[in-house]
A = this chain, B = another copy of it.
């Protein structure tokens, strides 16, 4: 199967290289050239041109089959950020070199939760402190200090004091600098109203390493299962597959705003058991990704009870309130999330509670394989958990920056929700606390047949046609999992606000044309 895909990809490249610009799709009026830019072939072309033809003994038949299998657990378009970074570079180059060659003059990225790439500016206070910690010589001279806010200077001094010899260039303790973990624990406590222990916190390079550590710990074989929401961001499915376990799906209920029903959890748990699978953990993503919903407190309580009763580790992608004796809990946070959106800094932490000391040692052991996480990310994680306070010099500008981001996001979300709900055959839940919308589309039979004719899922077909016609980049629902026979796409609310009207009008126009083309 994989060989077929690779072979097929190569054919697509060849066709792309032959500059085949006319449409070969029976039912599609958009040029294939752009269609293929989001197809697997595109990146294969990139790789093929980069790689050397070798007599390497390493072949697809001789590598770890779990790596190969990942391809199916996690759709290529998510592994290959083809619809964003790579593709955008190519398409943007084409737009630059040959303006007018496309039916749009710029790409509109609604595909990835990467706010700064779309023009969102960093929070000034955070970056001031990071810069001062990178180059502390600036702190030691009054004239350079004067260019920073007083609280940024004070904070940088405080942070540097937590590094022996101010050495931000040294490896830290595997769990991260103790003083920074103290700050984070205080921040958690202030936010959630229950105590947090800095010794429970492991600072990590974003959330992904924490997920891998826990999967590494829990999964012994494909007979170990992890309950994961569907739809779901593919980090979890990918990590479970790589570590050789089984993803046990539970479906979020779109009709109740992507609700998490305990009955569904119980049902799926029983099904897994009947297949001989031992479920080890429950993954909860809150707010949902790609679904954007926020779990009600009562729902969170039920989930904790369920995990306790069933003896499951709760892997919470965001903090939840709980009593730490109750349950084995791994709570994940990343500086990529939140209004500040500092994705490139790769800061984050996991808070690990309710495990025995012996198991904690094992978690520590796996974490220590990578020595420690990057120090800038560690510092930033402490800053987002302890931003300027009301009496600080930065407070006003910090609050203004934060509020501007949040209120603009809310307006953007509303505009996009409204347009989705106005389109024929499209329904869309509200983005309650996330940067994502996950509208559902009822596609006409002719459209699903056209998709089938090009070996593509119907929502992927829709997304490609959308890209080709409008330059709007979204991720099809098949990249996240969904109830069989239903189709969605994920659209972030992140493009800058002045672009939203363009997105709304292009999307509306495209959708009407698409439906007119394919209506049964």
Would you call A143 an interface residue if the criterion is a C-beta within 8 Å of the partner chain's C-beta atoms? Answer: yes
Contacts of A361 in B (CB 8 A): 6, 43-44, 47
Selected from B81, B135, B137, the residue in CB contact (under 8 A) with A368 is B81
Q: Which of A368-424 contact B (CB under 8 A)?
A: 368-377
Would you call A471 an interface residue if the criterion is a C-beta within 8 Å of the partner chain's C-beta atoms? Answer: no
Would you call A112 an interface residue if the criterion is a C-beta within 8 Å of the partner chain's C-beta atoms? Answer: yes
CA distance A81 to B371 in the complex (A): 9
> Are A366 and B67 also in contact (CB < 8 A) when A56-B359, A144-B147, A325-B54 are?
yes
> Are A364 and B80 also in contact (CB < 8 A) when A52-B324, A205-B346, A311-B57 are?
yes
CA distance A141 to B146 in the complex (A): 13
The chain B residue sitting closest to A234, CB to CB, is B369
Q: Are B58 and A344 in contact (CB under 8 A)?
A: no
Would you call A60 an interface residue if the criterion is a C-beta within 8 Å of the partner chain's C-beta atoms? Answer: yes
Would you call A164 an interface residue if the criterion is a C-beta within 8 Å of the partner chain's C-beta atoms? Answer: yes
Contacts of A137 in B (CB 8 A): 124, 127
Taking the closest CB of chain B, its distance from the CB of A423, in whole angstroms, is: 30
Interface readout for A73-86 with B: 1 if CB under 8 Å, 0 if not? 00000011100011
CA distance A516 to B255 in the complex (A): 81
> Are A50 and B197 also in contact (CB < 8 A) when A127-B134, A147-B144, A346-B373 are?
yes
Contacts of A235 in B (CB 8 A): 369
The chain B residue sitting closest to A197, CB to CB, is B50
Q: Are A325 and B52 in contact (CB under 8 A)?
A: yes
Among A169-177, A438-446, A481-489, the stretch that binds chain B is A169-177
Would you call A130 an interface residue if the criterion is a C-beta within 8 Å of the partner chain's C-beta atoms? Answer: yes
Selected from B171, B178, B345, the residue in CB contact (under 8 A) with A375 is B345
Among A80, A342, A369, find the residue whose CB has the most chain B CB atoms closer than 10 A.
A369
Would you call A328 an interface residue if the criterion is a C-beta within 8 Å of the partner chain's C-beta atoms? Answer: yes
Contacts of A343 in B (CB 8 A): 169-171, 371
Q: Are A117 and B365 in contact (CB under 8 A)?
A: no
Taking the closest CB of chain B, its distance from the CB of A282, in whole angstroms, is: 12
Q: How large is the interface on A (under 10, 10 to 19, 20 to 34, 35 or more residues)?
A: 35 or more
CA distance A168 to B377 in the complex (A): 13
Selected from B138, B169, B220, the residue in CB contact (under 8 A) with A122 is B169
Would you call A356 an interface residue if the criterion is a C-beta within 8 Å of the partner chain's C-beta atoms? Answer: yes
Q: Are A362 and B60 in contact (CB under 8 A)?
A: yes
The chain B residue sitting closest to A177, CB to CB, is B344
Among A97-105, A186-194, A211-219, A292-300, the stretch that binds chain B is A211-219
CA distance A212 to B219 in the complex (A): 17
Contacts of A46 in B (CB 8 A): 199
The chain B residue sitting closest to A281, CB to CB, is B58
The chain B residue sitting closest to A65, CB to CB, is B220
Would you call A498 an interface residue if the criterion is a C-beta within 8 Å of the partner chain's C-beta atoms? Answer: no
CA distance A171 to B60 in the complex (A): 29
Would you call A269 an interface residue if the criterion is a C-beta within 8 Å of the partner chain's C-beta atoms? Answer: no
> Are A64 and B172 also in contact (CB < 8 A) when A199-B50, A344-B372 are?
no
CA distance A238 to B369 in the complex (A): 7
Selected from B49, B165, B243, B325, the residue in CB contact (under 8 A) with A116 is B165
The chain B residue sitting closest to A213, CB to CB, is B67
Q: Are A117 and B171 in contact (CB under 8 A)?
A: yes
Q: Are B375 and A173 in contact (CB under 8 A)?
A: no
Would you call A257 an interface residue if the criterion is a C-beta within 8 Å of the partner chain's C-beta atoms? Answer: no
Closest 5 CB pairs of A and B: A50-B199, A57-B311, A117-B170, A131-B135, A116-B169
8 contacts between A and B (CB under 8 A): A52-B324, A52-B353, A52-B354, A66-B216, A81-B174, A114-B171, A130-B134, A170-B344
User: Can you name 15 extra interface pairs (CB under 8 A) apart from A50-B197, A116-B167, A141-B147?
Assistant: A6-B361, A47-B361, A53-B325, A54-B328, A56-B313, A56-B354, A58-B280, A66-B216, A70-B366, A81-B368, A127-B135, A130-B134, A167-B344, A238-B369, A344-B374
Which residues of A approach B to under 8 Å, CB–CB? 2, 6, 43-44, 46-54, 56-60, 63-68, 70-71, 79-81, 85-86, 89, 112, 114-119, 122, 124, 127-128, 130-132, 134-135, 137-138, 141, 143-144, 147, 164-165, 167-174, 178, 197, 199-200, 205-206, 208-209, 212, 216-220, 235, 238-239, 242-243, 280, 311-313, 324-325, 328, 336, 341-346, 353-362, 364-366, 368-377
